């Protein structure tokens, strides 16, 4: 069995160091980040999860990354009913606080906006296990999701992913590809951004993993466009780490794949 690597990139509006989205809206992280990312991975397979507010940049990203696929980045507050422009505030993203009726309407609106995309990500892994199981039976035309992190327990304990499997799994009609998949007690969300999940033993994991999912936000590649990379040194450190991970993944024979090319290895949560 081939050993696979999924590279997922979220495409979001700029945000300040306090985590609030820029007001007025700013998209420098998208406009400049796509070129920085290309320098890191070249024309490699990658999955972009795109905010509805950044969708105008899809054609330009597609022109640069010929092997890319695109998925929906779903924050409930971005879609009807009660759609709110989030600039100057945090994204509204608490799925457990949304009734099934409202969530159905919002996912229907998301499906209507992202007409051809087959993959979806619930933003920031803000989906509880019950909602994930429900979504598997009501996938709204999506085939793949990458919305969970097997080690995650949110501070308010509403989002507990500690029971989520480490390998890609099917739940209903959806194949869920967790954001990081290693197995064992060292599993965590893997992003090259400093202090974000696991960043110190990725080389060790790549030597033996059947699959790993690396995740980053495009805006993290550009200084002052993300709460995690406020300075040029922050962004350079992140780029260097990501470059090293990509180089090493090739050395140990991992094959990049798109999210929709990942097959379920187990069934059920």
Is residue 215 predicted with pLDDT exceeding 80?
yes
Reported confidence tier of residue 185, pLDDT bands at 50, 70, 90? very low
Give whole-number Cα distances, 7 to 142, 166, 178, 190, in Å: 19, 17, 12, 11
Reported confidence tier of residue 184, pLDDT bands at 50, 70, 90? very low
DSSP for 125-143 reads G---HHHHHHHHH--TT--
pLDDT tens profile 131-181? 899 999 999 999 999 998 887 777 777 778 878 877 889 999 999 998 865
Backbone φ, ψ for residue 98 (5° rounding): -105, 130
pLDDT tens profile 46-75? 999 999 999 999 999 999 999 999 999 998
Is residue 104 predicted with pLDDT exceeding 70?
yes
Across the chain, what does the average pLDDT equal? Answer: 85
What is the maximum alpha-carbon separation in the chain? Answer: 49
CB 13 within 8 A of CB 26: yes
Please give the average per-residue pLDDT across 116-137, as a whole number. Answer: 89
DSSP for 152-171 reads -B-TTSS-B-TTS-SS-EEE
Is residue 235 predicted with pLDDT exceeding 80?
yes
**Which pLDDT does position 22 carry in this prediction?**
85
Is residue 183 predicted with pLDDT exceeding 60?
no
The residue with greater pLDDT, 87 or 124, is 124
- Across 231-242, b (16+ Cβ under 10 Å) vs e yields eeebbeebbebb
The reply to whether CATH 3.30.70.600 applies to domain 4-267 is no
pLDDT tens profile 143-153? 999 998 887 77
Please give the average per-residue pLDDT across 204-221, as a whole number. Answer: 86
């Amino acid at each position: 069995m081939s050993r696979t690597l999924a590279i997922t990139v979220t495409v979001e509006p700029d945000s300040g160091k306090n985590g609030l989205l820029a007001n007025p809206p700013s998209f420098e992280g998208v406009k400049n980040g796509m070129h920085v990312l290309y320098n890191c991975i070249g024309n490699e397979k990658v999955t972009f999860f795109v905010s509805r507010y950044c969708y105008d940049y899809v054609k330009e990203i597609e022109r640069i990354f010929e092997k890319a696929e695109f998925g929906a980045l779903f924050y409930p507050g971005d879609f009807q009913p009660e759609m709110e422009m989030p600039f100057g505030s945090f994204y509204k993203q608490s799925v457990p606080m949304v009734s099934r009726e409202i969530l159905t309407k919002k996912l229907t609106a998301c499906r209507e906006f992202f007409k051809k995309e087959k993959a979806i990500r619930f933003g920031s892994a803000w989906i509880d296990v019950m909602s994930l199981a429900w979504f598997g039976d009501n996938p709204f035309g999506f085939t793949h999701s990458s919305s969970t992190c097997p080690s995650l327990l949110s501070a308010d304990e509403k989002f507990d992913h500690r029971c989520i499997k480490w390998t890609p799994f099917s739940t209903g009609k959806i194949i869920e590809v967790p954001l990081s998949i290693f197995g064992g007690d060292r599993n965590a969300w893997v992003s090259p951004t400093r202090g974000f999940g696991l960043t110190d033993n990725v080389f060790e994991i790549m030597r033996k993993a059947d699959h790993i999912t690396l995740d980053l936000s495009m805006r993290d590649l550009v200084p002052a466009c993300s709460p995690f990379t406020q300075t040029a040194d922050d962004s350079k450190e992140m780029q260097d780490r990501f470059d090293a991970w990509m180089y090493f993944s090739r050395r140990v024979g991992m094959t990049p794949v798109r999210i929709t090319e990942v097959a379920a290895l187990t069934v059920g949560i």
